[in-house]
Amino acid sequence: MVIVTSPAKVGRWLSDAARRPAAWYAGFAVYAAGVALFSGPGLDHWWGAWAAGGYGVAAAVAALRRTRGGQVAALAIAVAGALAAPLCWLATQEPSTPDATVVARSGVLLLHHGTPYLPAAQLAHGGWLAYNPYLPVMSLFGLPKALGLPGILGDPRPWLALVTFMLLLATFRLTAGRGAALALAAFAISSPIMAFPLAMGITDPPVIALTCLALALFTRFRGDDWQPGVVVGVVCAMKYTAWPALAVLTVMVAVRGGARAAVRFGATALGTAIALVAALAPAALFHPGAIAANTIAYPLGLTAARSPAQSPLPGHLLAALGPAGHATAIALLAAAGVALVVSLVTAPPSTPAQAATRIALGLTALFLLSPATRFGYFCYPLALYGWVALGVGRGHADSTARSEAASGIPDRAVSDRLANLTAPIA
């Protein structure tokens, strides 16, 4: 269950909790231990075992050593225990995870055939692992293996983690000082929201980080900036889960800069996405059926092969009832999309914080009602809502006063207090 509350209330709670980093690590340790004990079959329990130990040690160090060096050490231990160690273990000692396998294969196909998708004939006999639900930019993470890099260097997972960290660093750098940005980026990537999927080779963290980067760029929006549009175009060429962000941000631009600004933004984003797809996967353009089968029909459960993403959420439970239930799930999913559009018309977002919250709510409905869904997808709304709660989404001049009035804490103060999680770095 995802509990939605006021960003202002969460911001106040986080600003207080930021002064107790040991409590954060202890909470993460409890969650990781739960994953290790109750995750069932699969490789998730390996992440839980490594991360529980890393977070536990980080909590002890943060509690016992409150000096500059102690807090830096606690953060380093959290990153190592929750991300670096389990990622290396899984990449070198265990079979490749399905997500990493698909991304690696898509890189090979892209390099040798100009498309990351198998033809329809091979899809019919290859089972669910033959499908690639991602868009062409995601295949770039499979190129190291396709180019012959050995071992872990050819695995997509370290590259997914590195790119995610760099994007988060750039995001926080737009709204915080250099030291605070480094601290916040390291803490974010060490949290279960990012560390768990990255260690498993799941592709959502860079999509989330790019979305947050676009939102952060809008805190400096002047009405004619092209950078946010390019960033949104890149992420829209990675995965369809980014497309609700395009709709929400276009409306926000219209509110802030007028219709012409919105048209320029939308054209820049769509143009960037189309150009990237055409440049990276030219052969795919001649086989639109393969694109549709991989990226639309397969996630919606409209193919013979079924996605292993089958968490017991409403959409999947309905689809499991048979054709009528599946049709009902699709209809509810479409209705949720219509509801998002209506909300954008009746109550358009005007700030990055409002846009992030709207994207998070829209994705929550999408994940709840999708026939092929899993609990892990909620890392999107959790991360976006966390970005709002940190206060870094409220930096624009025309919203600063309202944000401070709502939270009772100046935005810069919120960011600075949260930087206390690793204050010695700053």
What is the sign of the dihedral through the CA atoms of 301, 303, 307 and 312? Answer: positive
Q: How far, in Å, CA of 106 to CA of 125, rounded?
A: 17
Total domains in the fold of the chain = 1
Find out whether 156 and 144 touch, Cβ atoms under 8 Å: yes
pLDDT band for 123, please (50, 70, 90 cuts): confident
Q: What is the DSSP string of 303-319?
A: SSS--S-B-S-HHHHHH
221 inside domain: yes
- Residue 21 corresponds to which tokens in the numbers above? 């980093």
125-152 confidence digits (pLDDT tens): 767 888 999 999 999 999 999 999 999 9
282 inside domain: yes
Q: 174-212 as b/e, with b when 16 or more CB fall inside 10 Å?
A: bbbeeebbbbbbbbbbbbbbbbbbbbbbbbbbbbbbbbb
* Closest listed residue to residue 351, CA positions, set 248, 273, 200: 248
354-403 confidence digits (pLDDT tens): 999 999 999 998 888 888 777 888 899 999 988 887 655 444 434 443 33
1 inside domain: no
Radius of gyration of the chain (CA): 21
pLDDT band for 333, please (50, 70, 90 cuts): confident
404-424 confidence digits (pLDDT tens): 333 333 344 444 444 454 444
Q: What integer pLDDT is reported at residue 417 of this predicted model?
A: 42
175 inside domain: yes
- Residue 124 corresponds to which tokens in the numbers above? 């019919």
**Residue 83 sits in which domain range?**
7-425
Q: How many CB atoms lie within 10 A of CB 126?
A: 12
185 inside domain: yes
2 inside domain: no
Find out whether 58 and 71 touch, Cβ atoms under 8 Å: no
Q: What integer pLDDT is reported at residue 418 of this predicted model?
A: 46
Q: What integer pLDDT is reported at residue 337 of this predicted model?
A: 87
Q: Supply the DSSP symbol for 420.
A: G
To the nearest whole number, what is the mean pLDDT of the chain? 84
- Give the SS3 label for residue 310: strand
